[in-house]
Structure 1
Amino acid sequence: MHQRLIARLQSVAGLSQDERAALNALPHTVRTLGDQESILKEGDRALNCVALTSGFLYRRKIVGDRSQILSLHVPGDIPDLMTLYLPTMDHDLISVGRSTVATVPHAALKSLFDKQPSLVHTFWRETLIDAAIFRHWVGNLGALDAIRRVAQLFCELAVRLEFVGLLNQDSFTFPLTQADIGSACGLSTVHTNRTLQALRKRKLLEWRGETVSLPNRTELEALAEFNPDYLQRKARTA
């Protein structure tokens, strides 16, 4: 159940054989979630961390009468890693569509770090990348127009899914709704719809059912002014 997590860590940091074996041996409980099912809610005290193994999760904050998606999470992510040291949630963690998580007790993770100190640095790096993604999202909300915000979102997801082997010829499963995209990008549903139509008209996006395809990913990245450096992908070797 830790295959995606290991693939994720391998893609950005590299892991030794001993580190991979230690991660595979982590005790965990598998949990399957339905659409819009909460893992944790604001104010909950966490005793475990969850590694997403399939599907999507998002962090959500209710501000006044508005629901704001703070981040999206793909297989291989541990979106509540901060609860190891900040156990009280200040936002909700919710499944989008059907998803599966591996729940790992905090005590097991702390024991792992005692036995494999090098993994402390690996997981700390994950929290720094998560913070970099968050900063990138905040910057996009404040500086980009609607079409570039939405284009950036799809470009980012393509890279993150590619890390864990879930991008197939620039296509991927995508169970979110237009309203979800609007919440993530700070747009009304009507504005989101118009923006998606504009991307389709330029032949930069195809969205059928729960499958998204990027027919011309290079052109989409150029439109979005997308630079994936903040995702910290390891340089590919020839």
Structure 2
Amino acid sequence: MAKYGYDDTPFLPNTKWRVHDSNRPQPPVIWPGWFSTQEAPGEPPSDAIILFDGKDLSKWVSVKDGGPARWKVENGYMEVVPGTGDIQTVEEFGDCQLHIEWAAPAEVRGEGQGRGNSGVFLMGRYEIQVLDCYENPTYADGTTAAVYGQYPPLVNACRKPGEWQVYDIIWLAPRFDENGNLIRPAYVTVFHNGVVVHYHTPLFGPTTHRATLPYQPHPPVGPLRLQDHGDPVRYRNIWYRPLRGYDGEPEWRDWTPIVMALRG
């Protein structure tokens, strides 16, 4: 027996590692951060890549013209300025853990899709709906935390208008072969205010309004886009962590040999 494991155990299927392998790299140590409260945003994990820290929009640009993002920043949050258009990150990423907090306007105006509407677009194409659905019904696949136009959330976990809400998203980007053929759809897992509302849900393609769209080949990374739908929705504490598999391998590694080995 080695100091921290064994060197005489069987190999795991189709890997270079033995069971309890003494030579297997240790996971990196990180600071996990603190949870947010209604009064203040939390502290991201130490290995998170910060997209918005409440100070400025230097990591964001206007989708309309690529110029500076023109939303308002104050008191540690950004707020949609209706009519200025969507904004998106300069940074591009694929498979990730994404954390984002938002608040619908405290002053209730409108109903259905006309109340506290915005959206979180993963890779600029795939929308998780932002909407004030606290005692505000609308079509099921357009409610808060829906994969817009495709899947309703498992439950409605909305807080009251004006209160901070949290999306924690696990995103696996779609994969295309060298000829542009889809070999794996996108998958999303979403926690809304700590409650699972989607679990490893396969997307049909990019999201849109009143239609369906097929997958079109695109790069494995893309920006995070936030929607100006005409309502002064607020956002704060936005960060992501690239997903890594065991031993630091990207999460998008080819798992087929392991699956086939397990199937015998």
Larger fraction in helix: 1
Q: TM-score, normalised by structure 1?
A: 0.26
- The higher relative CO (CA closer than 8 Å, separation ≥ 6) is in 2
Q: Quick check: which has more Rg, 1 or 2?
A: 2
TM-score by length of 2: 0.24
